Amino acid sequence: MPQLAVAQLRPVPHDVAGNRARTLAAIERAATQGAELLVLPELATTGYAFVSREALVAEAEPLDGPSVSAWSEAAARHGLALVAGLAERAGAGCYNTAVAIGPSGVAGVYRKAHLFAEERALFRPGDTGAVVVDLLGVRVGLAICFDLRFVELPRALALLGAEVLAVPTTWTDLHKPQPYDARGWCMANVLAQAHAYINRVYVACADRVGGEAGVRYLGASVIFDPSGAPVAGPASPDREELLVAPFEPARARDKALGALNDLFADRRPELYGALLDAPRPAGETAR
């Protein structure tokens, strides 16, 4: 049975080469444990809290830069696939990007659609739309962190045939007076679990730990199966970890709920027009 993995790392701000080496070490560990698909954190080679757009541009890389090249070489050497978060430099601007890489090289690129907080002043809004790629025969949908707050993107990925949602992420304590519940789960764990359950897909979230600029990163990386059950994690709130779990893509292709229901066949898109409407001002009601 294939193995799905997420690497929870502690990237060091302003140490791009060192962070790249950390990701390569994680790939080595994952390969040793038999992983066929590995997810690395959001912005895996840089810090997250940039003081300016110029600081971001100085650390970002193009898609043909050293990090994607090194990841591609490692994927080819080990015969595995990976999804990694990258600060992508494109022309004069930057994107918060997830790069999907298989043994034959880059298989797809997704640019984060929903930018969180200060990201809005640093990155260009993503322009790729929903991206699903084939990695070693597995249909993998790409999302990044805050994207999970918007139900439309994970559902679109599932409708496009994704069997696994690969989610590089940076879950923080911003606006969260109590980041964890009594189990040690953060609310993003619950959110990822809901997407696994309602779409019947695997959801693999790779977070970072540590902190910078007064922001704490929550860890709690996790893998959920199509029933919504956690099959690995949530990981520690403060340690680097590699989570590995077996997965069966065929389970994610089966949307049946007993003999009478099917999650996708039972949809009624003709009733969902409001999803495409612009939001109304507060207090205005539909006519």
Q: Phi and psi (nearest 5°) for 82?
A: -150, 155
Among 36, 94, 119, 145, the active-site one is 145
Closest alpha carbon to 231 in 217, 215, 248, 214: 248
Spatial separation of the C-alpha atoms in residues 144 and 150, rounded to whole Å = 11
Q: In whole angstroms, how far apart are CA 91 and each of 61, 63, 95? A: 10, 11, 10
Query: Is-catalytic flag, 152?
Result: no
Q: Which of 61, 88, 94, 112 is catalytic?
A: 112
Distance CA 120, CA 239 (A): 29
Q: Which of 36, 42, 163, 241 is catalytic?
A: 42
Residue 218 bridge partners (DSSP): 209
Rounded distance between C-alpha atoms, residue 106 and residue 190, angstroms: 31
CA 64 to CA 106: how far, in whole Å?
Answer: 10
Report which DSSP code applies to 241. Answer: E
145 catalytic residue (yes or no): yes
**Residues 110, 143 contacting (CB under 8 angstroms):** yes
> What's the CA dihedral at 20, 53, 239, 178 to 10 degrees?
-160
Q: Which residues pair with 262 in a beta bridge?
A: 256
Residue 256 has phi, psi (to 5 degrees) of: -75, 140
Distance, CA of 68 to CA of 268 (rounded, Å): 41
Question: Is 42 designated active site?
Answer: yes
Active site residues: 42, 112, 145
